[in-house]
A and B are shown apart, each in its own frame.
Chain A
Amino acid sequence: MTTITSRQELYKHFDLYTLQRKEELNQRSLKRGAGLLKTYLLETFADALEDDIAPIFNRVKWGLEPIDQGLFRVHNLPVGMDGYLDVFTPRFLAFHTTSPSEISDSTIKRVVKNTTELDHVWLSSPIMNSIWKDIIPNSQKYATLRFENEPLFETLYRNPLFDEAPDDDLYDNEEREDEIPEQQVARLEIKQRINQLRDVLDGENPFKYLTGNLTRIRVPAPNDQGRYEYFHYGKLTNRGDEFRGFASHLRFISNQVYGNLTRSIERIIAVHAEKTTLPNGANKVVMRGAPVTFAFPVPLTNRVFEGFIELTFEKGRGPFRLWGNPLKLSGPKVHVYGIDLHLWQPIYLDLTPKRFIVIIPQGTCGNTIHRLTANIKRFLSPLVNVYIGGIAYEELIRTAMRTA
């Protein structure tokens, strides 16, 4: 392994590495598994401090060796994998690696799953849309968009795989996300000039259902030399010719766009009782906050709705990783005073086939909304409209982009 003793050296090393891979790409000689440079954007929590970072990773058995301010070489990774953790801010981290995706994807997913203090930076479909539409300067260039839908609850909730575990197996629910057969995923990929894509997808698009959930985009790098590829779970692959510009772009996406957006969501929705004292000494409490609404233009079928409730809450399984005891009301309507198991933080849900209303008590991270949006679009309805209080989620994203 190259000896790296500072961030400057690391970036220089990655610059050279990226340029070599780019030349191989140009010559079409890049071997499978050669390892393009890729970065996984990760989020800790709102009030994290720099000193919190190493203990978080120690708990998942990663060893962090400091090599510069906020930069660590990571040890104890799987055989054949290397990586560096770059602390952009205590809340947003970047894990850079040149290892093949086959190893790094599963490693990162496992680390995130095994700690409540880490989550992916969830680039939900509306965020991805805003990235390719709003921040790529050259609209004559080509972009590749991949859309995915996984109608899991139409078919799978009666699958024996998801049947309730017997009592003696109550705790053995490891890797349950991996139980979802991949063949259920419907994919559509389009490659076209950006201006033409805008015309097609923003106009009277007859394929709205198919193009409702954007999960992966490959777009020109800001310097027009090569491309960046974004994945909805916060991974970015550098197919450009240098690293420094890529690192700068990573900071822009995580700290500014995603960070601004998440903080603005938290300011609007965090439900809490705020206690203040009046001039006469009496106390007053104001209830602050607002609900988040996921509105389905076409209501979920009863089969999908019931399947979602049964799998997620009654069997405690499936991709949403929510915990709670569903209170069933007439309608159908279901209330859950539950937990977001990614972070072990509270979440209240009022669910009907027409809309989900979600209340996030103060302290629950705003990225729950990005993740819910990504999962609802993928597994329940690609057409779902999301409102933060009374403001459309897309509008907040545009504002975050403009102010970044």
Chain B
Amino acid sequence: MNNSAIIEDPVFQLNLLLFLTWDAPSTGDIDPVFLRSGYNLSFVETKLTVPDAIHLRLSEGGLHIQRTARPDIFLEHEESHTLVPMECKRSSFSSTSSTAAQARSLLVFDGIQLSTFVGKTSVWESALTYVTVTGNGELLITTLQELSAEIFSYGYGTAKVSCLEIALRNDGVYLSAIERGYHLPNVNFNAARKIINLSEEEDPRPLYIIPFTLGGTHDPDPFCEEVFRERIRLAIALLLGNISQEPQEHTLDTVMERVITVWSMWDHQEEKRAIKSYVRQVLNEVFGSIYRQFNVRCSIRNQTITIPGVTADSIETVRRYINSVAFRRHQIPLSGPLQDTMNL
């Protein structure tokens, strides 16, 4: 994937936004613009459930609207009392596309609805912000304004809509706002603002704290798969590397949280089951290898992983295996089996 295609990937966009909310040195390569402008990261991939009355009324009127929505991240600006759900998009979409149903479910969260939902005791402004790649923002704002007008015609308020475009230049990654959209308080994106400083030809990707977004497991960027593979390998290495003289039990979910940091928040059970089943398969394969080579019998039954207590010599042996080139380069095939599993 070339560098300009990378910035289209919603997983890149999500991880980029995360870094923009974490503190960093003023002389560093990343400008955490949201943090410095007074925005705090509030939620990641939190589910918003559309109020029943609104969902019923719009559906009856023939508008497609999802029952729930899950903005990628959610910022809060205390000083201006503004809530900012942010959604990452590869490209724009039209008001008649299937993506419009998701957008409607985000738009209906005006200040009153969103403040109530997140438990604020006063009404905050709601500024729904789409993040996309440069060249898509104008059409996106047009679509969002059309959808807002539709909802308004049913007598409901909507969030203010804002759109930020990501652009890649020779010296870095830039963020700019679409003029016609709502302007987020206390931060100026009128002129393109450099948020990551890059050397020539440097890959713009930050560390992927979240290698997949929910739903992003379908048709994933091969790099996300690679990170996913590394995270599985890491989770197994930590599990086995911390083997001790006392027996241990771990739940499969604790291993999954090492692989996908926001695992506990995902509520798409079918998708979670499929990914778990895949990781379980990889674990069994490695456990089999450990048993054949070192006679150490680790097992996984139902949701519980059992690691036996072993001698000090066996601890060393297992750790050396984990540290060996053979394990570090052990193939964890994702493209075939994982894709099949995830596309259930």
Contacts and interface: CB of A to CB of B under 8 A. Distances in A.
A387 interface: yes
Nearest to A281: B49
A63 to B, nearest CB: 15
B317 to A, nearest CB: 7
A392 B262 CA distance: 30
A331 B262 CA distance: 29
Interface string B213-237: 0000000000100110011011001
Contacts of B238: 339, 344-346
Contacts of A354: 29, 199
A200 to B, nearest CB: 26
A186 interface: no
A311 interface: no
Interface string A355-384: 101010100000000000000000000000
B211 to A, nearest CB: 9
A164 interface: yes
A271 B209 contact: yes
A1 interface: no
Interface stretch (B54-62, B180-188, B276-284, B325-333): B325-333
Contacts, number: 171
Nearest to B35: A390
Interface in B191-210: 198-199, 201-203, 205-209
A285 B265 contact: yes
Interface string B9-44: 000000000110011111111101000000001111
Interface in A192-249: none
A390 B328 contact: no
B98 interface: no
Contact of A291 (B24, B258, B261): B24
B212 to A, nearest CB: 14
B96 interface: no
Interface residues of B, number: 67
Contact of B323 (A286, A289, A323): A323
Interface string A281-305: 0111111011101010000000000
A165 B23 CA distance: 41
Contacts of A331: 198-199, 201-203
B23 A337 contact: no
A136 to B, nearest CB: 29
Interface in B102-127: 116-119
Given A167-B326, A291-B22, A283 B265 contact: yes
B117 A278 contact: yes
Contacts of A394: none
A344 B242 contact: yes
A59 B245 contact: yes
Interface in A293-327: 293, 295, 315-316, 323-325, 327
Contacts of B24: 290-291, 293, 387, 389-390
A352 B199 contact: yes
A278 to B, nearest CB: 5
A146 interface: no
A98 B94 CA distance: 79
A181 to B, nearest CB: 23
B273 interface: no
Contact of A287 (B41, B205, B242): B41
Contacts of A284: 42-43, 46, 74, 118
Interface string B154-198: 000000000000000000000000000000000000000000001
A170 interface: yes
A293 B25 contact: yes
Contact of B41 (A173, A286, A325, A352): A286
Contacts of A278: 117-119
Given A278-B117, A285-B46, A339 B207 contact: no
A290 B22 contact: yes
Contacts of B324: 170-171, 316
B45 A329 contact: no
Contact of B264 (A165, A273, A349): A273
A81 interface: no
Contact of A339 (B3, B116, B237): B237
A316 B328 contact: yes
B119 to A, nearest CB: 4
A337 B323 contact: no
B117 A316 contact: no
A344 B319 CA distance: 9
A176 to B, nearest CB: 10
Contacts of B206: 350, 357
A275 interface: yes
Given A273-B257, A278-B119, A286-B44, 10 more contacts: A275-B264, A285-B264, A323-B328, A324-B234, A337-B233, A345-B238, A357-B29, A387-B25, A390-B23, A390-B24
The 9 closest A-B pairs by CB, nearest first: A389-B23, A329-B203, A331-B202, A171-B320, A279-B119, A387-B25, A390-B23, A170-B324, A337-B230
19 contacts: A170-B326, A272-B261, A279-B119, A280-B117, A282-B117, A284-B42, A284-B46, A285-B46, A316-B328, A327-B227, A333-B202, A333-B205, A335-B205, A337-B231, A352-B202, A354-B29, A355-B28, A357-B206, A361-B258
